[in-house]
Structure 1
C-alpha cells in the first residue's frame, strides 16, 4: 500500500490500526447500498476503468422434441468502458494532538477521521441512488429504462402497501421474482409507523412481509421517494477498486493532512429490475 504514504506519517502502525478500525466501523454502520448490492472487487487501487455491459434478454424459452427450433440467446449486446471515479474527504490532525499522545500515552483524538468517513459513506450512497449527473453516471433513481410508479399518499389508508404490491407486480411481469429490497426516504419510513386500521399491525410490518423483511431508509433519497428492486449480480453490482481507506497526504503548516477515500462504480445491467415510486 505504498500509494497511501503511511510510512511518511509521524505515527506508527498502532495508530493506523485505530484509524482503519474507525473507518470500517463507520462504513458498517452507515452504508446502505452495500447491504443489498453485490460487490465486484476490490480490484485494486490501480484499476481505473471497468466494462459496463448491455444485456439482450429474451425469456421466451423453447420447448420441442429434438431441440431444433431456433432460439434467441441471452447475450451481451453492447459493451463500453467507463472510468471508476474516486470519492474522498480530507482532514487535518493537529501536530500538538500527536505530540500530546506521544508524551502522555493518551489516545490520539480521531474524531476528524470519523466525520470524514461519514462524509464518504454519505457520498457513496448518494452516487448509488442518485448517480453523478456531472460525469454521466446514473443511479438507481434516475437510470434510463427503470420502471416508474406514481406514488399515492402514504399517510392515508393502505396506500404504502398497495404501491409496494403494485411495484412487485411490475417486477414479476418483467420476470423478476425476487428477492426484493425496498429503500425509502426517511419521511416515508415515518409515515409507515402507524397501525393499519382494523388489523392492529404497523403498515411497515405489512410492507416488510411483502418484500421479505428488507426495508431500508436513507436520507440521500431526499423526500417522498422509494426504490423497489430485485437483488442479484445479474441485475446490478458495485465495482470497487480501492475500498474505503485512509492515506497520509503530508504536513501542512505543522499539522498533518490525511484523506479518506475509495474508488467505486455502480453497474446497472438490467434497469427494468428497478421500480422507483415517486
Structure 2
C-alpha cells in the first residue's frame, strides 16, 4: 500500500488506512511488502462495516498527526490579576479550542504468518487485527453517539434539544416512531434527507420484518426518511434520527486510522491501529434520540 493511502472523506466508510506518518515506524518492522499489503487490506475490510458514525456526519481531514485542535471561534475573558500589572483598558482573552484525542489499539501477528506471506500465502491469520479494528470503530462510534467526557466530546444523544421518543422492540412500529422524529426535525426547520441510526440488534429486526400487506419495514423507513438511509450502528444504544444535510455535525480527523509498528519478540510482531480525532455538534436541533 502506497504512502498516500488514507481513509475516504466525508460521509463514506473506510476504504483505506493511512501509512504515511513517520512516527508509525513501519520502516523498522521486519515485515515484507507482501505482508504489509495483506495487513492493510484486512484492516480496510474489518473497519468498513463498523465505522457507522462516519456515514452520518461531516468528516473534516485527515489533517495530519500534528493537527492538535479545532478552532471554535470563541473566547473567554482572563483574570487580569494573573498577568501581572497591566495598563488601563487592556483586555485579556483566551481562545476556545477543542483538542483532538489520540487512540491506539494494539494487536499482534505471528512472525510465522508474516513469513508465509512472502512464500505466497494470501490467507494470513489476522484475527487479532480484526478484534482491534472492531474495538477502535466502536470507540469512535460511541464518542460520536454518546460522547466522551474525558476528551470533552458531547455526543449526538446528549446534545439533542428535542424530547426523546420511545422506540420499543416491535420493528413494525419503527416507521411510526421515525415519522414522528422526522416531523420534529422539520418543525424545527431542519431539512432532509434524514437517516435512522440503530444498533445491530435493532437493525437485524428491521431487515427481517414486513408489515401488513407485505411491505418491508426497511423500505417503509427509507420512504419516511425522504430518500435517506438506515444505518447499522455498532456502539449505539437505542437509535437516532438525524439530518444528513451538511454542516450539522463535524468529525475532525488529525491522523486517520493507520497501522503502526511497536516491536517484535521471537515469535510475535506487535502492531497497532491509531488515529486522532474529535467531534462537535454544530446544530443540536438536527438530531432526535430514540430510547429503548
Q: Choose which of 201, 219, 240 in structure 1 pairs with 2:253.
A: 240
Give the aligned partner of residue 193 of structure 2.
Answer: 179
Matched, 1:166 2:166: no
Q: Return the offset for 1:100.
A: 5.2
Structure 2 vs 1, CA of residues 97 and 242 (structure 1 numbering), >3 Å: closer, same or farther?
A: same
Matched, 1:261 2:274: yes
Distance across 2 between alignment mates of 1:82 and 1:214? 30
Structure 2 vs 1, CA of residues 8 and 178 (structure 1 numbering), >3 Å: closer, same or farther?
A: same
Q: Return the offset for 1:176.
A: 0.7
Q: Return the offset for 1:53.
A: 5.7
Matched, 1:130 2:154: no
Distance across 2 between alignment mates of 1:136 and 1:206? 37
Q: Return the offset for 1:21.
A: 1.7
Q: Choose which of 80, 92, 107 in structure 1 pairs with 2:108.
A: 92
Structure 2 vs 1, CA of residues 8 and 252 (structure 1 numbering), >3 Å: closer, same or farther?
A: same
How many residue pairs get matched?
A: 249
Q: Return the offset for 1:254.
A: 5.5
Matched, 1:38 2:58: yes
Segment drifting more, 27-36 vs 183-192: 183-192
Distance across 2 between alignment mates of 1:89 and 1:152? 33
Q: Choose which of 161, 164, 170 in structure 2 pairs with 1:155.
A: 170
Q: Return the offset for 1:195.
A: 3.0
Structure 2 vs 1, CA of residues 267 and 98 (structure 1 numbering), >3 Å: closer, same or farther?
A: same
Q: Return the offset for 1:130.
A: 1.5
Q: Deviations over 1:141-174 (max 9, x none)?
A: 122x432233154528x63222211111111111
Q: TM-score, normalised by structure 2?
A: 0.76
SS at 1:22 equivalent: helix
> Superposition pairs for residues 1-278 of structure 1, below 5 Å?
1-52=21-72, 80-99=96-115, 101-102=117-118, 104-107=119-122, 108-143=124-159, 145-151=160-166, 153-155=168-170, 159-192=173-206, 193-197=208-212, 199-211=213-225, 212-222=227-237, 225-252=238-265, 255-278=268-291
Q: Runs of 5+ in structure 2 lacking a partner?
A: 1-20, 75-94
Q: Return the offset for 1:101.
A: 4.9
Is the CA contact (8 Å cut-off) linking 2:104 and 2:274 kept in structure 1? yes
SS at 1:141 equivalent: helix
Give the aligned partner of residue 65 of structure 1.
Answer: none
Distance across 2 between alignment mates of 1:121 and 1:25? 12
Distance across 1 between alignment mates of 2:190 and 2:145? 20
Is the CA contact (8 Å cut-off) linking 2:148 and 2:155 kept in structure 1? yes
